[in-house]
Amino acid sequence: MKKLKLILIFTIVSVSVIFAQQRKYEVHSRGMLHQTVFNTGELGRAFDAGSTGIAGGYPPSMEWPPNGHMFVDRKEYEGQHNSMGGGVYIGATRNGERLFAFCGAVSTSNGGTTPVEGVYSNPISIERRINFPVLSNGAINLSYNPDEAEEIIISKWGTPTGITVRRTSRAWSFPGYNGFIIYEYEFENTTTDTLKDAFIAWTYAFAPSMFGYQRKFNRWGEGDYRNNAFGRFDLKRYMSYNHEREGRPDSVLFDIWSNENDRGGLNSPQAVGMMVLHYDYDHLAVKGKTNLYVTPDDEKYVWDINNKIKQPYLLRFENANLYYTKITQWLDYQARKTGPFKGKNDSLNFPDDNYYWIGRVKSSYKLAYTQPVCRGYGFGPYTLAPGEIAKFSIAEVVGYGPGRASDSVYRDLGGSTLGSSETGSGMHPVPSWYKTISYPEIQNPGTMGSNYLQTHPLPWYVDPEVVSIRDAADRAIQMYLGGPLVKYDTVQFEPKTTPEKGRYLVSIPIPAPNIRIENTSAASNRIIWGPQVETFTTGRLNAPFSHYLVMRALHPLGPWTRIDSVGKRDLRYFRDSIYSVLDYASDLGVDVYYAVYSVDATGKKSGFTNMTAHTTQSPAAPVLEKVYVVPNPLVVTNGRTGSAVGGDVSDQIGFFGLTKKCTIKIFSFSGQLIQTIEHDGDGYSEVSWFQISRNHQMIASGVYFFTVEDAATGKRAKGKFVIIH
């Protein structure tokens, strides 16, 4: 009856709160890793086995690199999303009743979506704060705090366990520090009862990457990539992560995308994961004051010198079917799901006679190939008196592959295909995209990694100093501790003794200026910005300002080409207190992306924060006269490459000579209405069409007619064009 009463109370409270605050989200988009944060505890997308994909490319789910929505061969791809969702699990005992809250990453018994709002969490609030060094008007932000992140999202929700969660997440644009997001959690007992045997865990479904698996399997689902992805656990860094076997080059796009300043020729170069930066030690239950059952065989290993269970308590690899009864077993204090390391034979990576990991949970590494998708990562048991708060810090991290060229000398847990038949330590070499290495433990083929980077450059979005997920993890630790950079290849990171809140003290680059794009009568786009960033200063500034780099691309992922390098107060471009650079390569009706980097005296670039999309236009015609279709005929095999907002550039037709507001109707040769386009061009004369009919189908080769009617005068123009596929 107590349990029923508690659930009823929670339901009533949930309803009252939901009226005040419904499930909402904010997006981290400042760095190169984009992630969606919900006020229900969820991370990324609504969780299921992945087959539903991501609608419209938004909201992002660990998208890296960002802005990857595109059309390839007339097929729409939603981007480089790397997670099927994540969330927070809580289990606690209150007045003898065991209660649970699965705030994200929970499914039905057959892998379908389970609502979180009003079931496992009730949303309270969510807020996004910005701490950008440059304001939207281009001026220096005098309130900029160099000791805080550039982007902060604070979310809060309640749970039926009696624990209220506050999550503060942080992101930066700084090169080298833009491939991770740090989350600080506060779990507060907001009841009048002491909560006992509480467990707190995180679960992520890692899937690198949506684009790569869509290209290969035409969808994004667990069953598609189960035999291509590998789960790993880095003991030194407390990091659980996922990577693909070889990055899988795309046979069609490999040569194009592997060029300098392009997106990289690999389909799935990402290694994505999560790591613990701090866990609460003070509130861990003491031996004799917990109902935790420890087997006699484990008893001599698992307790530390203070009679607290060594952490972490839970490390699971699992498939994407995360239903209620399965997850409750993970948080069971009477039957531990995975046992601890018990001796040096459990691992070849114990660094010395202290054997740090003995007594801590052993990852379920034998499932790291057969079930590489989901990770359970938990701590406990905790005792929380009324008003007490347990604090944790977690980082999401992503890199261009699991390792660097030299990292194969190191080993971490997982990476085999032997599954339940595997014996021994489970430790295997760390692969990379620098060199294919022999892997006797895996099958078909017995190799791992790629030679890609021996002959091809890194893509533009990867900092040469921070390539792998191991590099990104070390930078996340450095950012959190506010100290010097340490490589945790042979040094053991210890999150028990780190501060409860990050210090966030690293070198700061000159920020990028805010830019705006203007059309010209000659259809040469003008990139404009002010000189304010040249005076930016802070005590942790890396180096003084040197110059700007003005960049352009036909897609946000590249290839990015340099229009010019612009010096400080460069007389070629600076007059009347503004910089103005013309892009003479712009064409009418073509989507172009622009960005301007600031570069300091050491050559360090600013963050990539001012990318601006622009459709090249000319002023609207004052009177509707002749309307032109370009190209005409449209030959789809004309060699034009790239992706615009609406489709492949090779499919793009432009209508030119339009008035400010008019209606275009397109007809087949037989007179059937194919499409109607309402043009309200804000004073511009062009509209693009990607050959999609009103029935959402690609039109066939043939002759087509069109009419244009001016909204102001009713005057009409007409013409025809030819499509050749």
Residues 452 and 595 in one domain: no
Average the pLDDT over each of 406-415, 436-445, 706-715 and give the range with the smallest value: 436-445
Q: Is residue 110 classed exposed, middle or buried when 0-12, 13-18 and 19+ CB atoms within 10 A define those classes?
A: exposed
What's the confidence (pLDDT) of residue 643? Answer: 62
In this predicted structure, the answer to whether residue 66 has a pLDDT above a threshold of 80 is yes
End of a domain among 615, 636, 656?
A: 615
- Please list, in sequence order, all residues whose beta carbon lies within 8 angstroms of the beta carbon of residue 171, skipping any fewer than 6 positions away: 28, 29, 30, 31, 33, 149, 150, 151, 178, 181, 182
What's the confidence (pLDDT) of residue 17? Answer: 40
Residues 598 and 634 in one domain: no
Instruction: For residue 665, tell me if it sits in a domain.
Output: yes
What's the confidence (pLDDT) of residue 4? Answer: 35
Confidence of residue 641 (pLDDT cuts 50, 70, 90): low
Confidence of residue 3 (pLDDT cuts 50, 70, 90): very low
Asked whether the beta carbons of 470 and 180 are under 8 A apart, the reply is no
Percent pLDDT > 70 in the chain is 94
Residues 588 and 641 in one domain: no
Q: How far apart are CA 468 and CA 484, in angstroms?
A: 19
End of a domain among 615, 647, 679?
A: 615
Residues 602 and 642 in one domain: no
In terms of pLDDT, which residue wins out, 560 or 354? 560
Residues 604 and 649 in one domain: no
Residue 577: give its domain's CATH number. 2.60.40.10
In terms of pLDDT, which residue wins out, 650 or 317? 317
Residues 570 and 643 in one domain: no
What's the confidence (pLDDT) of residue 172? Answer: 98
Instruction: For residue 504, tell me if it sits in a domain.
Output: no
Instruction: For residue 121, tell me if it sits in a domain.
Output: yes
In this predicted structure, the answer to whether residue 2 has a pLDDT above a threshold of 70 is no
Confidence of residue 8 (pLDDT cuts 50, 70, 90): very low
Residues 170 and 216 in one domain: yes
Average the pLDDT over each of 477-491, 653-667, 687-701 and give the range with the smallest value: 687-701
Instruction: Tell me the pLDDT tens digit for each residue of 13-31.
Output: 333 343 457 999 999 999 9
In this predicted structure, the answer to whether residue 241 has a pLDDT above a threshold of 60 is yes
- Cα 209 from chain centre: 10
End of a domain among 586, 615, 644?
A: 615
Instruction: Tell me the pLDDT tens digit for each residue of 390-411.
Output: 999 999 999 999 999 999 999 9
Average the pLDDT over each of 101-105, 597-601, 614-618 and give the range with the smallest value: 614-618
What's the confidence (pLDDT) of residue 219? Answer: 81
The H or E element spanning position 158 is strand 151-158
Instruction: For residue 487, tell me if it sits in a domain.
Output: no
Confidence of residue 687 (pLDDT cuts 50, 70, 90): confident
Across-strand partners of 466?
Answer: 463
Q: Is residue 18 classed exposed, middle or buried when 0-12, 13-18 and 19+ CB atoms within 10 A define those classes?
A: middle
Instruction: For residue 506, tell me if it sits in a domain.
Output: no
Residues 414 and 522 in one domain: no
What's the confidence (pLDDT) of residue 13? Answer: 39
Average pLDDT of 263-276? 95
Residue 694: give its domain's CATH number. 2.60.40.4070
Average the pLDDT over each of 245-259, 334-348, 494-508 and give the range with the smallest value: 334-348
Residues 212 and 289 in one domain: yes
Instruction: For residue 498, tell me if it sits in a domain.
Output: no
Instruction: For residue 32, tell me if it sits in a domain.
Output: yes
- Cα 294 from chain centre: 38
In terms of pLDDT, which residue wins out, 156 or 412? 156
Domain count of the fold of the chain: 3
**Burial annotation 205-220 (CB, 10 A radius, 16+ → b, else e):** bbbbbbbbbbbeeeeb
pTM of the model: 0.91
Residues 249 and 194 in one domain: yes
Residues 83 and 106 in one domain: yes
Instruction: Tell me the pLDDT tens digit for each residue of 359-398.
Output: 999 988 888 888 888 999 999 999 999 999 999 999 999 9
In this predicted structure, the answer to whether residue 182 has a pLDDT above a threshold of 70 is yes
Mean pLDDT (the chain, rounded) = 90
What's the confidence (pLDDT) of residue 385? Answer: 98
Residues 610 and 662 in one domain: no
What's the confidence (pLDDT) of residue 638? Answer: 53
In this predicted structure, the answer to whether residue 639 has a pLDDT above a threshold of 90 is no
Average pLDDT of 188-199? 98
Domain that holds residue 591: 516-615
Residue 533, phi then psi, degrees to nearest 5: -65, -15
Instruction: For residue 489, tell me if it sits in a domain.
Output: no
Average the pLDDT over each of 22-26, 68-72, 96-100 and give the range with the smallest value: 68-72
